[in-house]
Amino acid sequence: EAGVTQFPSHSVIEKGQTVTLRCDPISGHDNLYWYRRVMGKEIKFLLHFVKESKQDESGMPNNRFLAERTGGTYSTLKVQPAELEDSGVYFCASSRETGKAYEQYFGPGTRLTVT
């Protein structure tokens, strides 16, 4: 089966601009997660979708970040306006709804650089 894919792999934008990251989970995975690692820090959870619903968005840093998962398939994470501290690697992961729901499959990440 195809793995989790993320687009773009790398994005360089200026402070104040908008960027949209996309994640395509493994087909049939109802759970979708966003994480990020900012420079020198640990990987941090951002939010969790179950199908199209937000199950947990406790990790979203502020209202400049908007995540959507229309139709319960792919997800987008929009940062508007981007700030310097948003630079880092954004990971998406997915897992099954039941059974091995705990086993998360991660994508390769999107490296975001805000200048």
Contacts to other proteins by CB under 8 A: 4, 31, 33, 35, 42-45, 48, 50, 55-56, 59, 91, 93, 95, 101-109
By beta-carbon proximity to other proteins, the closer residue of 44 and 81 is: 44
Per the structure block, which two tokens stand in for 28?
Answer: 């049939």
Residues facing 65 on adjacent strands: 79
By beta-carbon proximity to other proteins, the closer residue of 86 and 110 is: 110
Burial 66-75 (b: 16+ CB within 10 A, else e): ebebeeeebb
SS3 letters across 61-93: CCCCEEEECHHHCCEEEEECCCCHHHCEEEEEE
By beta-carbon proximity to other proteins, the closer residue of 4 and 114 is: 4
Main-chain dihedrals φ then ψ at residue 70, nearest 5 degrees: -65, 130
* CB 107 to other proteins: min, Å: 5
* CB 66 to other proteins: min, Å: 19
* CB 47 to other proteins: min, Å: 9
